[in-house]
A and B are shown apart, each in its own frame.
Chain A
Amino acid sequence: GDSVTQMEGPVTLSEEAFLTINCTYTATGYPSLFWYVQYPGEGLQLLLKATKADDKGSNKGFEATYRKETTSFHLEKGSVQVSDSAVYFCASSGGYQKVTFGTGTKLQVIP
């Protein structure tokens, strides 16, 4: 079945540092790929998505590029802020099928 693997956390960065959270997937066909964010005490929110190879999803300074050749969808941000502290989930899905989530990566940004 489909699966998503993302780097284990927690990731601790100083404010304004560069962020990369790695994500790879296995799936049949060409799934859509997502990053969700979960702030403390809240539900998951869609951060960005990409629906085909070489698409770049972006939102709030975060970016991720759909790389079919490496089956990856790494999340990046050039300069993190304290308010970015949250748990980030990579996810994949095909068509009308369920979304499969990774285990999540906790990001802590210190001032």
Chain B
Amino acid sequence: EAGVAQSPRYKIIEKRQSVAFWCNPISGHATLYWYQQILGQGPKLLIQFQNNGVVDDSQLPKDRFSAERLKGVDSTLKIQPAKLEDSAVYLCATRAGPTNYGYTFGSGTRLTVV
């Protein structure tokens, strides 16, 4: 089974620039998550999709972050404009069923904002 693919692996941008991350989930996994992992901390949920609908985006900073999941498959996460505190690893995860299945994570995109 192919894993969760994310790109790019690394990105360095200046503050106030925009950036986009891409996630290709495991085929057939209906639920997709974007997490933000700041260095030294545990992952924090940004947004959860069920197919192409948003289930939970309560912790997404909507003034600068946006996400979409077209046709319930690939997803993109965008930051515009970026701030220094957005420097983190952005993780995409998917699961096939209820949460007792556990997540499958991608390798993440490491964003550095300078």
Binding site for B on A (CB under 8 A): 4, 32, 34, 36, 42-46, 49, 51, 89, 93-99, 101-104
Contact = CB atoms under 8 A, between A and B. Distances in A.
Contacts, number: 54
A95 B42 contact: no
A96 B108 contact: no
Given A44-B43, A51-B100, A98 B105 contact: no
Contacts of A46: 102-104
Contacts of A42: 107
Contacts of A51: 100
Contacts of B33: 98
Contact of A43 (B48, B56, B107): B107
Contacts of B45: 98-99
B64 to A, nearest CB: 21
29 contacts: A4-B42, A32-B99, A32-B100, A34-B102, A43-B106, A43-B107, A44-B43, A44-B93, A44-B103, A44-B105, A46-B103, A46-B104, A51-B100, A89-B42, A93-B99, A95-B99, A96-B99, A97-B99, A98-B45, A98-B56, A98-B99, A99-B45, A99-B99, A99-B103, A101-B42, A101-B44, A102-B42, A103-B40, A104-B41
B91 interface: yes
Contacts of A34: 102
Contacts of A102: 42
Interface in B17-65: 31, 33, 40-45, 48, 56
